[in-house]
Amino acid sequence: MVSKQTHKNLTWIDLEKPTQDDVVSIMDEYGINRLVANELLSPTLRPKVELYDNFIYLILHFPAFKTPKSRKSSEQEQEIDFIIGKDFLITTHYKTIDPLHNFSKTFEVNSILDKSNMGEHCGYLFFYLVRQLYKSLEEELDYVTESLEAVEEKIFMGQEKKMVEELSKINRNLLNFKQATRPHKEVLASLEIVGKKFFGEEFSYHLHTISGEYYKISNILEANRETVAELRQTNDSLLNTKTNEIMKILTIMAFVTFPLSLFASIFGMNTNTLPLVGHPNDFWIIIGIMLLATICFFAFFKYKDWI
């Protein structure tokens, strides 16, 4: 599907699941290198940035995990290919990406009203678009932060066992997030170099700002990962403490019932002669001995500070 929008002298072409015909038409109209055009037809495993005579070719992968603020996705990453020319920007993706859809609405409104100035070349359009993408990532991480606060509250409400699975899910999402965004550092550093050559030194501030957006996301991500690690350690400690308490109670019960079982077994033996058996109060005497032994065990545990 091809979506084409213009604003003053700037043109944005968005390709979603492009076909061979879509790519050929774009290649002919904007002078796209055939090698680059072929790469637009299918996802690429690794991000990269390349400088050509009339455009910059950039590939970035963005994390995609399930949250109420994002569409459900079974993919861990979503790829976006950028072809940035002086007066045109081409974006290619293979899944529906909400931030691109939202930015498209903004671009369309600005095009209709013709009131805003997005800059003299498409480098500025790319800048605003990437900033929107990183803002979306920040919102995803804000949701993770809220989830961690809820998990922390539940941990101290006695729901440690349930929170083991919840913490594992959050940690998996953060790990996928880090794997997707880790290459951005090197790619954006390279983009600053080629961007200055292509758009001029005056555009370097915007290129540096894009890198700053990445570092902000990276810092929030690391803070969340540290929080997950601390909460997991706290949760495990509480679980171990609770388990130890249960084992302690079971051990005490075993020792308390030991003399009762012992005396009951002794006086239940089928022998000809048993002490106390036959005495008028033999039952109460045996029960008294058993209670006395139980009290002695409790006193011993108390003296050892085991209970």
Any domain includes 249: no
Any domain includes 258: no
Kindly report the backbone phi and psi dihedral angles of residue 4, in degrees, each rounded to the nearest multiple of 5, phi listed first. Answer: -125, 125
Any domain includes 261: no
96, 18: one domain: yes
Any domain includes 245: no
Kindly report the backbone phi and psi dihedral angles of residue 203, in degrees, each rounded to the nearest multiple of 5, phi listed first. Answer: -90, 0
Domain boundary among 240, 258, 289: 240
Which stretches does DSSP call E strand in the chain?
A: 2-7, 10-16, 48-51, 56-63, 77-84, 88-93
pLDDT digits (tens, 9 = 90+) for 75-97: 567 889 999 999 899 999 888 88
- Under DSSP, is residue 14 helix (H, G, I), strand (E, B) or coil? strand
Token look-up 């990183």 returns: 134
215, 298: one domain: no
pLDDT digits (tens, 9 = 90+) for 184-209: 999 999 999 999 999 988 899 999 99
What total number of domains does the chain contain?
2
287, 188: one domain: no
108, 155: one domain: yes
Any domain includes 77: yes
9, 52: one domain: yes
User: Whole domain around residue 273: which residue ranges?
Assistant: 267-303
Beta bridge partners of residue 272, listed in sequence order: none
- Supply the CATH number for residue 222's domain: 3.30.460.20
Cβ-contact 41, 17 below 8 angstroms: no
What sign for the dihedral angle of Cα 228, 233, 237, 243?
Answer: positive
Contacts of 143 (CB under 8 A, 6+ apart): 67, 68, 69
pLDDT of res. 100: 80
Of the chain, the percentage scoring pLDDT greater than 90 comes to 27
Cβ-contact 161, 239 below 8 angstroms: yes
179, 284: one domain: no
121, 21: one domain: yes
Contacts of 296 (CB under 8 A, 6+ apart): none
Any domain includes 256: no
Give the Cα separation of 165 and 171 in Å (integer): 10
pLDDT of res. 229: 92
For the chain, 307 residues long, the average pLDDT of each consecutive 10-residue run is: 81 88 86 86 87 91 65 63 92 84 73 60 90 90 91 87 89 89 92 91 91 93 92 88 81 74 71 66 76 79 72
DSSP-derived letter for residue 120 is S
Give the Cα separation of 192 and 194 in Å (integer): 6
40, 105: one domain: yes
pLDDT of res. 113: 46
Contacts of 128 (CB under 8 A, 6+ apart): 103, 118
Report CA-CA distances (Å) from 199 to 59, 87, 136, 161, 211.
Answer: 18, 11, 26, 56, 17
126, 215: one domain: yes
